[in-house]
Amino acid sequence: MLATAAAAIALIFLQQAPAEDIDWDAEFGVEERERDPATGEFPVDPYEKSNANAGAEPFANGRLAAAFGGREGIRRIAERTVELSEADPRIAEIFVAHDTVRLKRTLSEQFCYLLGAGCDYTGRDMRATHDGLGIRTADLNALVENLQQAMREAGVPFAAQNRLLSKLAPMSGDVVER
Amino acid sequence: MRTPCVATGLMLAILSAQPAHADDLEWFEGGKLVLTNGVTTIEGTSGGGIATWATIAGLEMDNGVGVSGHATIIELPDYGWQSHGVAVGIANRVELSYARQNFDTRDVGTALGLGEGYVLNQDIFAAKLRLLGDVVYGDPLLPQVSLGVEYKRSLDGDVAAAVGAARAEGLDYTLSATKLFLSRSVLVNATARLTEANQNGLLGFGSAAGAGHSLQFEGSLGYQLSRRAVIGAEVRTKPDNLGLGEDDWFDLFAAYAVTDNITVTAAYVDLGSIATFEDQRGAFLSAQVAF
């Protein structure tokens, strides 16, 4: 036992230190991503933009949007939902490697479009955006609770909150992977 | 020297096995949206007050195990009801429950020749399996559907036999469909129950004259006032195997999730005629703790 440990320690010291001028990113093929200076978002692979990617038909008139404080109110609710989720120990891990600058914008667009507030949704579809995230229904519940808190803080009436959720809940099949 | 080596090896094995364990069941960690575990029925299953729903007890989702406990009292003009029990939910898929019902006949006990304050007792062991659908998610027109079986055992077989029941124990089968229509904040439940229970089984099962299982209906309508509050109404049809004028049941209920774990339910219930004593309308109070 002791001899093995001594041998291991000796091996560690016998190793040669690597040269100082090695570009490790190049060695391992790491590509550095840079945020767009104008939007603050990381670039994404090209895809076809369409409101159909929002995953549901919007409410026909803008009455509901007023209950959310219009476009500006909707944007704040979407951003707050993402912030609450990033700080939520149940689901924070899912957002660690995520471009939340872009997520806040696309989520806001999606809500705005679905609520009939006159935005276009420019993000990818729900299956593509959640692919590989390993999301469970319990994670979805945590996100719903954070969205509910954001809407509650914004003074959105409960029935109106449920109207938005009624557009989102049917998308669970494209989001939940396990 | 050998023991530490084995211990180290074991620790390494446990550590390296950790990733596989990460997907294992979580115990009592919660995860359901508030109120989507339902409250507890008089039979100990998850549902409304008198109607069994397709919901699964406990706060677990498909990655966990949940549990709930409840106590219920009903104050009626001539009778007093008390029931309590526990339920376990596994992966939001299977529900196993037990409830004990205690039905105090008070002064009626004397009139029926049972004796003052005679208490009818019953045990109910139940299992429920979620077959398909989700009460909240998925296709907005596809409800959560569950199949249930309840084994009921009256502890007063003599009384059951005296009033003309064929047996002191019996099986109920339920098929429930439950959906929360978010666009209207309305929860709808419909349950078909195959039963031969007389007054839920407290007066035994079937009749000596040959009455057996019949198909009965349970319906619930709820309106979500907030994340934590729901009000609604229920109806439950019942057979009249003994010819004692057994009535259908109705209730108006309000349920409130005081915390994510504690739900209290208050209801006005109309249980109709019980053992020939008419107009048994009164107050239903229930508390549920769930994890």
Whole-number pLDDT of residue A21: 86
Tell how strand B64-75 and strand B26-27 pair up. parallel
* Chain A partners within 8 Å of B225 (Cβ): 158
* A114 neighbors A165 (Cβ within 8 angstroms): no
Cα nearest neighbour of A90 on chain B: B31
Question: Where is B250: in which H helix or E strand?
Answer: strand B249-257
Whole-number pLDDT of residue B238: 97
Instruction: Please list, residue by residue across B88-105, b when 16 or more beta carbons sit within 10 angstroms of its beta carbon and e when fewer do.
Output: bbbbbebbebebebbbbb
DSSP state of B48: S
**Residue carrying the six token digits 């109404």:** B233
Count A/B contacts: CB-CB distance under 8 Å.
60
**Cβ–Cβ gap A148/B227 under 8 Å:** yes
Helices (H), chain B: 2-21, 108-111, 157-162
Whole-number pLDDT of residue B23: 61
Mean pLDDT across chain B:
93
* Chain B partners within 8 Å of A178 (Cβ): 23
**Cβ–Cβ gap B63/A138 under 8 Å:** yes
Tokens linked to A55: 């995953």
Whether A13 shows a pLDDT value over 50: the answer reads yes
Whole-number pLDDT of residue B230: 98
Tokens linked to B103: 């039905």
Phi, psi for B77 (deg, rounded to 5) = -55, -40
Tokens linked to B45: 């299953």
Q: What digits encode the pLDDT tens for the residues A32-73?
A: 788 999 999 999 999 999 999 999 999 998 899 999 999 999
Residue A148, domain member (yes or no)? yes
**Residue carrying the six token digits 């959906």:** B179
Q: What percent of chain B has pLDDT over 90?
A: 89
Residue A26, domain member (yes or no)? no
Architecture per CATH, domain B2-290, reads as Beta Barrel (2.40)
**Residue ranges of the domains in chain B?**
2-290
**Cβ–Cβ gap A137/B181 under 8 Å:** no
Q: How far is A49 from chain B (nearest CA, A)?
A: 25
* Chain A partners within 8 Å of B181 (Cβ): 166
Nearest to A99 by CA among A107, A110, A91: A107
Is B138 touching A (CB cutoff 8 A)?
yes
**Cβ–Cβ gap A170/B62 under 8 Å:** no
Tokens linked to A7: 């041998």
Whole-number pLDDT of residue B91: 96
* Chain B partners within 8 Å of A148 (Cβ): 227
Say which of B1, B4, B183 has its CB closest to residue A166: B183
Long-range contacts for B127-132 (Cβ within 8 Å, ≥24 apart)? B127/B94, B127/B95, B127/B96, B127/B97, B128/B45, B128/B46, B128/B52, B128/B56, B128/B94, B128/B95, B128/B97, B128/B174, B129/B93, B129/B94, B129/B95, B130/B54, B130/B56, B130/B92, B130/B93, B130/B94
pLDDT string in tens for chain B (291-residue length): 444 554 555 444 444 444 434 467 899 999 999 999 999 999 999 999 999 999 999 999 999 999 999 999 999 999 999 999 999 999 999 999 999 999 999 999 999 899 999 999 999 999 999 999 999 999 999 999 999 999 999 999 999 999 999 999 999 999 999 999 999 999 999 999 999 999 999 999 999 999 999 999 999 999 999 999 999 999 999 999 999 999 999 999 999 999 999 999 999 999 999 999 999 999 999 999 999
Give the three-state DSSP class for B276.
Answer: coil
Residue A111, domain member (yes or no)? yes
**Cβ–Cβ gap B5/A148 under 8 Å:** no
Residue A40, domain member (yes or no)? no
Is B5 touching A (CB cutoff 8 A)?
yes
Count of beta carbons in the 10 Å neighbourhood of residue A177: 13
**Residue carrying the six token digits 């076809």:** A48
Domain with A150 in it: what CATH number? 1.10.490.10
Tell how strand B64-75 and strand B46-47 pair up. unpaired
Is B32 touching A (CB cutoff 8 A)?
yes
Whole-number pLDDT of residue B233: 98
Whole-number pLDDT of residue B151: 98
Q: What percent of chain A has pLDDT over 90?
A: 75
Q: What digits encode the pLDDT tens for the residues B120-173?
A: 999 999 999 999 999 999 999 999 999 999 999 999 999 999 999 999 999 999
Whole-number pLDDT of residue A99: 93
Whole-number pLDDT of residue B280: 97
Q: How far is A5 from chain B (nearest CA, A)?
A: 12
Nearest to A128 by CA among A174, A161, A86: A174
Whole-number pLDDT of residue B5: 53
Calpha distance A91→A138 (Å, rounded): 9
Calpha distance B125→B98 (Å, rounded): 5
The ipTM estimated for the assembled molecules is: 0.87
**Cβ–Cβ gap A169/B138 under 8 Å:** yes
Total domains present in chain A: 1
Q: How far is A46 from chain B (nearest CA, A)?
A: 29
Give the three-state DSSP class for A108.
Answer: helix
**Cβ–Cβ gap B182/A166 under 8 Å:** yes
Is B4 touching A (CB cutoff 8 A)?
yes
Give the three-state DSSP class for B194.
Answer: strand
Residue A30, domain member (yes or no)? no
Q: What digits encode the pLDDT tens for the residues A72-128?
A: 999 999 999 999 999 999 999 999 989 999 999 999 999 999 999 999 999 999 999
Residue A146: which domain range?
51-175
Mean pLDDT across chain A:
93
Q: Which residues of A touch B (CB under 8 A)?
A: 1, 136-138, 140-142, 144-145, 148, 152, 158-159, 162-163, 165-166, 169-170, 172-173, 176, 178
